[in-house]
Structure 1
Amino acid sequence: MDKPVLTVNDLVTTQSLGTKVLAGAAGLGREVLWAHSCELSDPHKWLAPHELLMTVGLCVPASGGEQREFIAELDRAGLAGIALGDHSSLPSLTSDLLDEADARAFPVLLTNSTTPFAAIGRTIAAATATTQTMQVLKLSKLYQLATYARDNPIRMMDDLQTLFQVRLSVMDTQTGLVILEGPTLADTSTSMRSRLYSLPGDTETKLRVFEHPGEELSSFLLIHILQVIDMAVNQRLRFIRRRSERGAAMLSSVLDEHLPDGIESILGAGAISGGFQCVAIATEDGPTALRGVSIAALPVLAGFGRSSFLLLMPEQRHDEVRSFLNKIGIRAAASSTYVDLRDAKYAAEEALRVFSSAGTNKQWDDFAGVPISLLTRSRKEACAIVEQVLGSLAGADAKSSTLRDTLFTFISNDRRWNETSAALGIHRQTLSYRLAKIKDITGRDVGSSADLSAFWLAFQAWPSYSEPLLG
């Protein structure tokens, strides 16, 4: 932003404008780029930094607390100040308003009833004519850079940042991921403030603008920047949607034991030569996962299965996918590694079983190679089942022993509360408390059929697990 030539003090000292200071005199050095008259209840949303709000008071609240917050909002928005028209519609100004203005060095002015607001506007326009001319020149350059929106959006963002000396980043609100951003500025400072704006074309994307204090973008330029960046983002989102649709169609074909053409264009050439895995995700998390992996361009096939949302990934991408899903807060479980794509449906079923039996405390679970059988066939298998299902509840400490005995007694009594309470010599409320603690520790609930099945397997395996090792 080129340095304006006008300050609030210049307006106050221009006698023909009939304007005096009521509060915030320490801020008279604030620069003024433009002036707007606004009577809406939230004028801070309609004006930009370094602009003067002119009002006859219809937008000014009546109570002291509300007036204090009103001034605070104008200051946080970076306005140059407020000029109040001396009119009957102006409410009484409270000490709260005046004190807040003084504390923030935010100029509150009173313009006499014979001075039209247009006179203030014309004065500012004349004084800042050079700045406005420079902004028009920058606007022309802006639309030249817009030619990169389709083919090279990263270069466009880089050039926009250089032109306006700001940092620009487009964020997806559903996943928290960055869709498009320019390179980090060499002179990026921790003192830079950020503002967030909705893009016109997609309600789930926001533009974050990082600006140096005192060098904020004007609303005149900002509205055009939003339009230009929106074109680039829409182009990017169209590509993301096409890629996700292709991936979902390919996954559907693979699950039907058909190998679609072009699968390597998503997974990568030779990517599954080392094997692949399926990942199961809760159906309700599917849209977020799909948008996320598409934005991140992860080499996976993603789509909805019969009972869950599924990813098919090269085995070598296991850690990357796990880390990514954890980053966007999605719980998932992975199958073991398969080598033949014709077995994809079995991998998907396996991943779903692992996901269903995993406790909700686990963000990610892997197929541990433990056969789900009614009777364990070895001590090694028994240990694996107990540790997988009970976790820390398999410990030898008194608390774990008490809760484990409660669980096993509950199972052996076929989930009958009275018999279990009697066998343990405790009240039903104590039993309820212990079962709740078991859920907290293991992430499994005795009220869930899948979780109860897992607990029953651990109950059957416990004798083998707890017997001493042969020397």
Structure 2
Amino acid sequence: MSELTVGDLVAMRQLGCQTIAGSGGLDRPVVWAHSCELDDPWNWVATDELLMTTGMCIPSDEAGQVEMVRQLHKAGIAGMAIGDDLKAPPLTDAMLDTANTLDLPVLTVSHSTPFSAIGRTVGVATQSEQITRIARLSRLYEVARSATLADSSLLDRLSAELGHRLHVIDVEFGTEVLGRQGHVPTDTVRALCQRVGGKLDRLPARQAITVGDELVATAFALSTHRKCMLVVDGASDIDMDAFGLLHAQSLIGIEVERATRERERDDAAGALLFQQIVDGSLGSDAAQPRLEQSGLADREWIVIAFDAQHLRAARINLGDSAFPNLSSAVGEEGYVMADAGNMSEAVELLTGRIPHLGISAPTSTIQRLPDSVRQARWALQAARADGSAVAEYSTASPLFLPRTLSEATFAARAVLGDLMDHDAANQSQLVETLDAFLTLDRSWSATAEKLMIHRQTLAYRLKRIETITGRSTKSSADISTFWMALIALRISRGGTE
């Protein structure tokens, strides 16, 4: 049988269909008929499919009806068949005029005709098409199987099979996933992320991507624990059949999950390696082959420091861009060990997501990793102090902070030594109290809440601190001295706390 059209259904008098608008589109092909009563049926009915509705999904207002017709036309829907059972709101002239302008067929269906009759008619007429789709499905799964055995990626092979260029975008971080970089223009990625930025908990099933007034691609949600969408290139709306698209989404979603889990395992192993080198529990001879696996052996590398809460963002941005790295959280800081030759690119990626970065001097000696961690942390303290995005240890003077571990210990003892001795002798927490008080911008309520003490207890502790140190917690000069000494103390305690 030749391709079925909307006009063919109208011509079958036994189906009881009549055209009330959009007669110029009766030659639109129909590959399936689908009943839907959701508010946005264009997201659930695919290209060349007939929407069947009792009218419950049709807005009652004129603007809503016009927008519905436009969205159905934009999605490539074959037409809309409305059951004649008085459940639909009155159809406005503006809606019907829009359907006529866009040549989108709007049909009424006799109340004596069940939707299943239309569905069976379309199904029988398109049996050969369904066989073709089943064959395509078999090819899709063969592509997925063979992609693991070949050099080309699953996305490349599925793109060739479906005739559309496919990409995967992490819409939370704006990165391209599955090894592809630079294929999707930055303004396209930005436009998509802006569109779905407030919907990360429930991504839209289908999202048109426009740059200016031009449609450049269409995105489809993926069922992955990362917030990812499948992006299909195209200056016009996608005409891919829903059957092939649904299975392609499933296959790509599985591949994204597999790659993500593998990356997470590598990150965990890299974090352990990083910590073992820093704390000295793994020697350089044992670490060398593992660094080779990470792509960081026999080259200069740097350490980048930042607030630990941004570790996931750092891993995703660097990992999706295929930057060899080791990363770990140590105390309140996160650290990335990366190739010094890629420093500019790595820093550019991270500054878009992380407010302050500290960068160590480059080195190629494994034994110096603890020193590099301290350098990166000192540079981070400098970046925080002056509000800059990036501070490099090799070029920035970290605002009076000590540059060696012995200097840090001396500076801390010079100001806080008596407090530290008092705490050790009396099991008190005066140093901890001072640190919390200054970190929280001398807020009495916030400090008392963090330390879980009464405000009167806090007042007593601050008075004791002033008595023991001979410095005031109200004097700007003394406060700045306390603050620098506390930073030096953090650095001196183990070097990476």
* TM-score, structure 2 as length reference: 0.67
Map of 1:235 onto structure 2: 258
Which of 135, 149, 152 aligns to 1:154? It is: 152
The answer on whether the counterparts of 2:383 and 2:389 sit within 8 Å (CA) in structure 1 is no
Q: Cα distance 1:285–1:103, how it changes in 2: closer, same or farther (>3 A)? A: farther
Letter in 2 for 1:55: T
Q: Distance in 1 between matches of 2:24 and 2:151?
A: 44
Map of 2:84 onto structure 1: 86
Q: How does 1:15-414 map to 2 (within 5 A)?
A: 15-152=13-150, 154-180=152-178, 194-210=217-233, 213=236, 216-257=239-280, 258-259=282-283, 261=287, 262-272=290-300, 276-326=301-351, 331-358=356-383, 362-367=388-393, 368-370=395-397, 372-373=399-400
User: 5+ unaligned residues in a row in structure 1: which ranges?
Assistant: 376-445, 455-471
The answer on whether the counterparts of 1:192 and 1:210 sit within 8 Å (CA) in structure 2 is no
Q: What's the CA shift for 1:369? A: 4.6
Q: Distance in 1 between matches of 2:258 and 2:157?
A: 18
The one-character-per-residue Cα deviations of 1:64-115 (angstroms, maximum 9, x if unpaired) are 2222222233233221111001112121112232233234332211122232
The one-character-per-residue Cα deviations of 1:267-287 (angstroms, maximum 9, x if unpaired) are 433123xxx322112222221
Q: Cα distance 1:214–1:299, how it changes in 2: closer, same or farther (>3 A)? A: closer
The answer on whether the counterparts of 1:240 and 1:295 sit within 8 Å (CA) in structure 2 is no
The one-character-per-residue Cα deviations of 1:167-186 (angstroms, maximum 9, x if unpaired) are 1112223322222278979x
Q: Distance in 2 between matches of 1:222 and 1:241?
A: 28
Higher mean Cα deviation, 198-207 or 365-374? 365-374
Q: Cα distance 1:146–1:357, how it changes in 2: closer, same or farther (>3 A)? A: same
Secondary structure of the residue that 1:87 maps to in structure 2?
coil
The one-character-per-residue Cα deviations of 1:432-459 (angstroms, maximum 9, x if unpaired) are xxxxxxxxxxxxxx9xx889989xxxxx
The one-character-per-residue Cα deviations of 1:229-270 (angstroms, maximum 9, x if unpaired) are 233222222221121111111111122134453122214331
Q: Cα distance 1:371–1:96, how it changes in 2: closer, same or farther (>3 A)? A: closer
Map of 1:389 onto structure 2: none
Q: Distance in 2 between matches of 1:292 and 1:215?
A: 29
Q: Distance in 1 between matches of 2:397 and 2:237?
A: 63
The answer on whether the counterparts of 2:30 and 2:50 sit within 8 Å (CA) in structure 1 is yes
Q: What's the CA shift for 1:215? A: 6.3
Letter in 2 for 1:225: A
Q: What's the CA shift for 1:372? A: 4.4
Q: Distance in 2 between matches of 1:193 and 1:287?
A: 30
Q: Distance in 1 between matches of 2:38 and 2:315?
A: 41
The answer on whether the counterparts of 2:356 and 2:383 sit within 8 Å (CA) in structure 1 is no
Q: What's the CA shift for 1:328? A: 5.4
Percent of residue pairs identical: 28
Secondary structure of the residue that 1:88 maps to in structure 2?
coil
Higher mean Cα deviation, 82-91 or 236-245? 236-245
Letter in 2 for 1:147: R
Letter in 1 for 2:25: G
The one-character-per-residue Cα deviations of 1:347-399 (angstroms, maximum 9, x if unpaired) are 22332232233268644332315364499xxxxxxxxxxxxxxxxxxxxxxxx
Secondary structure of the residue that 1:180 maps to in structure 2?
coil
Q: Distance in 2 between matches of 1:451 and 1:64?
A: 69
User: 5+ unaligned residues in a row in structure 2: which ranges?
Assistant: 185-210, 403-475, 485-497
Q: Distance in 2 between matches of 1:371 and 1:125?
A: 73
Q: Cα distance 1:372–1:215, how it changes in 2: closer, same or farther (>3 A)? A: closer
Q: Cα distance 1:123–1:330, how it changes in 2: closer, same or farther (>3 A)? A: farther
Letter in 2 for 1:297: A
Q: Distance in 2 between matches of 1:49 and 1:220?
A: 10
Q: Distance in 2 between matches of 1:33 and 1:450?
A: 74
Letter in 1 for 2:373: A
CA RMSD of aligned residues (A): 3.3
The answer on whether the counterparts of 1:280 and 1:309 sit within 8 Å (CA) in structure 2 is yes
Secondary structure of the residue that 1:126 maps to in structure 2?
helix
The answer on whether the counterparts of 1:18 and 1:112 sit within 8 Å (CA) in structure 2 is yes
Letter in 1 for 2:278: L
Q: Distance in 1 between matches of 2:291 and 2:401?
A: 39
Q: What's the CA shift for 1:326? A: 3.9
Map of 2:7 onto structure 1: 9
Q: How does 1:423-462 map to 2 (within 5 A)?
A: none
Map of 1:435 onto structure 2: none
Q: Cα distance 1:75–1:361, how it changes in 2: closer, same or farther (>3 A)? A: farther
Q: Distance in 2 between matches of 1:20 and 1:361?
A: 69
The answer on whether the counterparts of 2:360 and 2:372 sit within 8 Å (CA) in structure 1 is yes
Q: Cα distance 1:37–1:270, how it changes in 2: closer, same or farther (>3 A)? A: same
The answer on whether the counterparts of 2:382 and 2:391 sit within 8 Å (CA) in structure 1 is no
Letter in 2 for 1:303: S
The answer on whether the counterparts of 1:193 and 1:211 sit within 8 Å (CA) in structure 2 is yes
Q: Distance in 2 between matches of 1:196 and 1:270?
A: 42
Q: Cα distance 1:122–1:450, how it changes in 2: closer, same or farther (>3 A)? A: farther
Letter in 2 for 1:174: E
Secondary structure of the residue that 1:309 maps to in structure 2?
strand
* TM-score, structure 1 as length reference: 0.70
Q: Cα distance 1:80–1:308, how it changes in 2: closer, same or farther (>3 A)? A: same
Higher mean Cα deviation, 55-64 or 118-127? 118-127
Q: Distance in 2 between matches of 1:292 and 1:54?
A: 44
Q: Cα distance 1:450–1:38, how it changes in 2: closer, same or farther (>3 A)? A: farther
For these two proteins, the number of residue pairs brought into alignment is: 373
Q: Cα distance 1:214–1:177, how it changes in 2: closer, same or farther (>3 A)? A: closer
The answer on whether the counterparts of 2:75 and 2:237 sit within 8 Å (CA) in structure 1 is no
